[in-house]
Structure 1
Amino acid sequence: MARRNHTTELGSIACDDLTELGAGKEGWLVDNPNLLTALDTHSLAVANHSVVLVLDWSDGSDPTGPRVKIRPTLSPIESEYISSVEWLVFDDIRVLALGTSCGYLLIYSLRGDLIHKQIVNPGRILKLRVRGTKRDLTEDTSSAEICVVMPGVVARFDGSEIQSMLQRWFQETHSQFWDQKKNPVDSGSSNVRLPYQLWNVNKYGSCADAAITGIMPPPLMELQSSQRYYCAVTIGDDAVISAFRLSEDRSRSLVGAILSKVVPATFSTIASFSKMIWRSEPKSTTKSEAKPQPFARASPLTCLKDHPRKGEKLTLSPSGTLAAITDSLGRILLLDTQALVVVRLWKGYREASCLFMEMLVNRDSAASSSAYYEHVKSDYCLCLAIHAPRKGIIEVWQMRTGPRLRTIPCAGGSKILQPTYRFGSSSILSATYVPLEVFLLNGDSGQLSVLNRSLD
């Protein structure tokens, strides 16, 4: 009986440049906790403390060709290092976003040019989470956001703001390329500050990971306004799961509204009176450092404490309604982010990693079996891929309460990855539906494969 093949090989990333990142030793990809990876549709970014290597694994690429190396300028005094990496894809614009241990967000082009540098909040950036939700398949609109996760802090950037900044930068770069009289591009658009929201979510202790799951209704007895509220789910050492209602406005409460009106008027009166008595000091001409943004209001909703269990990793479904959470006791919790209840539990999966994917599970009709049939979204079912490295397998479970569909053996030193969300109108207007896929990277051999979507 022929052995079933549950994966499809795509290519190899093996090259000499990977030796700088530790390649060559068995298990180098998974044993080093400081080694970061981010996958795009045809590129892979691998980073350590001080360098990012971009590898192209598209069809027909030259394995011995030049690689893109990005060496960001980091502060040696603060021992700054790269703590997170993620792709940002807007239609035909592809850039790389880096988070540092000092709280800086860096955006680089694929040529290694620094496009933007901005401090989010003092502290280490744990994760850059890119997410987009299509509002309507018939409309060319979608909500895009970049969530920055830090210990006890969550920030949210609007994707449209970043896209506009990138479009301006690339247009200026193109015009300077043709106009040789202009000065070359400087090191990043430091004069442009992207607006964002910032929340303190350390009510139940510092978080190890977090995610903004979507928009939620305002609380009862709250004044009606145009401000939106978001739901954030955090995990950590003190609280396995905690949830918060995030407000966009920093002065929504009655006390905050009074203080926002009275305090500035009081200080203005005092300042005017003091100028009549004392001479005003000359203004300083030195450029002041960028100050961290004040926090907006975050209201705690619920919390699950179960000592000594600790939350480790969080994975969000495409719609944001489900979250898979791994803990220190080898359990995987499936959380309904709207009802804030655990709807499923798996045990015996220590050091596991989870990613959501879509599989073809309903192929009974004659049309779907035809070679000319193009699958639509209704043909796919949401599943959860669980990589258990201690067992050496990948299990695929149907959501929410479905059975285990597949068990795939995988070699040691492997990691499951998923391409970042692609913003823009092209993905919405495309006639062919692109399902959510999970890729398998074997670090020891450099082989990159994709999990097959069909159960046949």
Structure 2
Amino acid sequence: MSRSDVEPGNDRRIPPREARATLLRRNHGFFLYLRGGRRMARRSHLTEIGCIACDELAELGAGDREGWLDDPSLLAALHSYSLAVASAARPLVLVLGWDPDRRSPSSPRHPVKIHPSLSPSDGRITALEWLPFGDLLALALGTSSGLLLVYSVGGDLIHKQFVHPGRVLRLRFRETESKGGFAQDSVSEELCVVLPGVVARFDGTDIQSLLRRWLQEAGSRMWENSRHKLESEDEISYGNIPFQLWNVGKFGNCSDAAITGVKPPPLLELQSSQRYYGAVTVGDNSVISAYRLSEDRSRSLVGTILSKVVPVTFSTIASFSKLIWRSEQSATRKSHPTSQPFAKASPLTCLKDPPRKGEKLTLSPSGTLAAITDSLGRILLLDTQALVVVRLWKGYRDASCLFVEMLVNRDKASSSSRCYEYTKSDYCLCLAIHAPRKEIIEIWKMRTGPRLLTIQCPKGSKILQPSTRFVSSSQTPYIPLEVFILNGDSGQLSVLNRCVV
């Protein structure tokens, strides 16, 4: 009998047929395979791509306790080779990066610290998101007083704008691809700002033009003086970025919301040049609410009241106060920025199921599906076009969901041709569910498919996804949607492998 037929660490001889079989046993906490007398490591579903561990993370609470990344006051946003981590308790944002070309990705690049100059009236940092536009990259911050701040990667303040009174709950940047004429595809970007009962939409072209103007001014010496003036006097150097604002609080304030895309106009309505958008909200009073958003402000009754009645009322009160108090200091004091009038938001449907409350919402790449988590540990899969719940999961308390594209049973194609390039049709849309109480990540096939994977993840882990995946053209291979796992205790950042056998 050969040497390979003897199990290491045991004098018991193994029959040849048993040695050729695949055996699974546990040795010192690791799973090992025995095939043909040789032990092989279990196939891992994660690939390590970098490490963000550094001394600067201690300022955000790293190392104080196990699972420090689970703190709800900590915000994280991922981009290609860059990770931004912010704390709502202190005005600090860390931009961490790593070099993908290094053989050992254990050492990150030097982190960049951003200290937003926030006054007590500006509030605290409550939302964080990257703004990628090809070669242009910026970081957007939202505050508890309704401010939108835009910073460069180097930490320079680019823009500061008031959106609406209230706490900014979510900043959601999306890159959508639509079919045009003559088989031409068009790509558009948008930034959605979510506040309690309010949704705002910024067009990506307006934000991109602002960033390009800032780059032109950054080369001149006068930019340093204007930047310090902007931070000290709390003014806006390029004016306000135009945006649309809608009131989606008919069924109560929302905890999260998203604009699902362009929606057809309602029936029996005259066709116009105005576009309509679909929006889905989740909140305490209603688990799911859907709206049709119009760009036309003249059709909104609330917008008419705010644009006509409110200014007259404030001017009347101001004139009476001047007559009574005769105060000159009140005239020189800076006035609080006023809110923009609302456009029309028509409610489409609402799902109320007390005491269940909607918590978080995640959109699919096309915006046709939405995964919604609630306070009862359930996950609802919503068809945003038909406004119907098509699937339901139970038993996932405090879960987080992200859509991912996987290769299912594609080993034959890769083995037949080494240079095989996968197309969009080769990938299958799946849903990654992170259950922190179970310390697992599950991958489910959409819409009615089975569970494909169950991955163990340590305590204090967080699943992340870039705000854009750089929609590929016909000359470049298709880039699928990926999910990244960040281990807060070790600082390791890994990506979920695309192939599922």
* TM-score normalised over the length of structure 2: 0.81
Provide the residue aligned with 1:102 in structure 2.
145
Cα contact 2:74–2:87 (8 A) shared by 1? yes
Cα contact 1:22–1:28 (8 A) shared by 2? no
Q: Aligned-pair distance for 1:26? A: 3.4
Provide the residue aligned with 2:204 in structure 1.
159
Task: State the alpha-carbon separation in 2 of the partners of residues 387 and 191 from structure 1.
Answer: 42
Across the aligned residues of Structure 1 and Structure 2, the Cα RMSD in angstroms comes to 2.8
Residue of structure 2 aligned with 1:68, choices 112, 116, 137: 112
Cα contact 1:152–1:200 (8 A) shared by 2? yes
Asked which structure has the greater RCO (Cα within 8 Å, sep 6+), the reply is 1
> Helix, strand or coil: the match of 1:135?
strand
The gaps in structure 2 that reach 5 residues or longer are 1-32, 34-40, 313-330
Alignment of 1:148-187 (within 5 A): 148-174=193-219, 176-177=220-221, 183=225, 185-186=227-228, 187=230
Cα contact 2:67–2:461 (8 A) shared by 1? no
> Helix, strand or coil: the match of 2:210?
helix
Residue of structure 2 aligned with 1:52, choices 90, 93, 100: 93
Deviates more, 1:414-423 or 1:30-39: 414-423
Matched letter for residue 443 of structure 1: G
The gaps in structure 1 that reach 5 residues or longer are 268-283
Q: Aligned-pair distance for 1:361? A: 1.3
Cα contact 1:90–1:422 (8 A) shared by 2? no
Count residues in correspondence.
432
Q: Tell me the alpha carbon deviations over residues 128-162 of structure 1, each in whole angstroms, 9 at most, x when there is no partner.
A: 00112112496363121100001110000000110
Distance change (3 Å), C-alpha of 1:428 and 1:29: farther
Alignment of 1:124-163 (within 5 A): 124-136=167-179, 139=184, 141-163=186-208
1:41 aligns with 2:86: no
Provide the residue aligned with 2:345 in structure 1.
298
1:6 aligns with 2:51: no
Task: State the alpha-carbon separation in 2 of the partners of residues 160 and 220 from structure 1.
Answer: 30
Q: Aligned-pair distance for 1:257? A: 12
Q: Tell me the alpha carbon deviations over residues 269-292 of structure 1, each in whole angstroms, 9 at most, x when there is no partner.
A: xxxxxxxxxxxxxxx888755321
Q: Tell me the alpha carbon deviations over residues 190-246 of structure 1, each in whole angstroms, 9 at most, x when there is no partner.
A: 341110000111111110000000111112232321001111100001100010111
Matched letter for residue 323 of structure 1: A
Distance change (3 Å), C-alpha of 1:379 and 1:362: farther
Matched letter for residue 107 of structure 1: V
Cα contact 2:409–2:499 (8 A) shared by 1? no
Distance change (3 Å), C-alpha of 1:193 and 1:366: closer
Cα contact 1:368–1:375 (8 A) shared by 2? no
Q: Aligned-pair distance for 1:9? A: 0.6
Task: State the alpha-carbon separation in 1 of the partners of residues 109 and 47 from structure 2.
Answer: 24
> Helix, strand or coil: the match of 2:391?
strand
Task: State the alpha-carbon separation in 1 of the partners of residues 223 and 369 from structure 2.
Answer: 54
Matched letter for residue 434 of structure 2: H
Provide the residue aligned with 1:25 in structure 2.
64
Residue of structure 2 aligned with 1:215, choices 257, 262, 276: 262
Q: Aligned-pair distance for 1:344? A: 0.3
Task: State the alpha-carbon separation in 1 of the partners of residues 259 and 304 from structure 2.
Answer: 29
> Helix, strand or coil: the match of 1:99?
strand
Task: State the alpha-carbon separation in 1 of the partners of residues 440 and 224 from structure 2.
Answer: 57
Deviates more, 1:134-143 or 1:380-389: 134-143
Task: State the alpha-carbon separation in 2 of the partners of residues 155 and 200 from structure 1.
Answer: 9
Residue of structure 2 aligned with 1:415, choices 457, 462, 479: 462
Provide the residue aligned with 1:445 in structure 2.
490
Matched letter for residue 20 of structure 1: E
Distance change (3 Å), C-alpha of 1:31 and 1:422: closer
Alignment of 1:209-358 (within 5 A): 209-252=256-299, 289-358=336-405
Matched letter for residue 57 of structure 1: W
Cα contact 2:445–2:452 (8 A) shared by 1? yes
Task: State the alpha-carbon separation in 1 of the partners of residues 108 and 267 from structure 2.
Answer: 61
Q: Tell me the alpha carbon deviations over residues 322-358 of structure 1, each in whole angstroms, 9 at most, x when there is no partner.
A: 0000111111000000000000000111111000000
Distance change (3 Å), C-alpha of 1:168 and 1:393: same
Cα contact 2:303–2:341 (8 A) shared by 1? no
Q: Tell me the alpha carbon deviations over residues 79-128 of structure 1, each in whole angstroms, 9 at most, x when there is no partner.
A: 71000000001011111000000000000001111100000001100000
Cα contact 2:98–2:108 (8 A) shared by 1? no
> Helix, strand or coil: the match of 1:251?
coil
Matched letter for residue 7 of structure 1: L
Cα contact 1:43–1:58 (8 A) shared by 2? no
Deviates more, 1:186-195 or 1:352-361: 186-195
Task: State the alpha-carbon separation in 1 of the partners of residues 303 and 290 from structure 2.
Answer: 25
Q: Aligned-pair distance for 1:304? A: 0.4
* TM-score normalised over the length of structure 1: 0.88
Task: State the alpha-carbon separation in 1 of the partners of residues 351 and 304 from structure 2.
Answer: 35
> Helix, strand or coil: the match of 2:161?
strand
Provide the residue aligned with 2:417 in structure 1.
370
> Helix, strand or coil: the match of 1:141?
strand
Task: State the alpha-carbon separation in 2 of the partners of residues 333 and 291 from structure 1.
Answer: 37
Distance change (3 Å), C-alpha of 1:232 and 1:64: closer
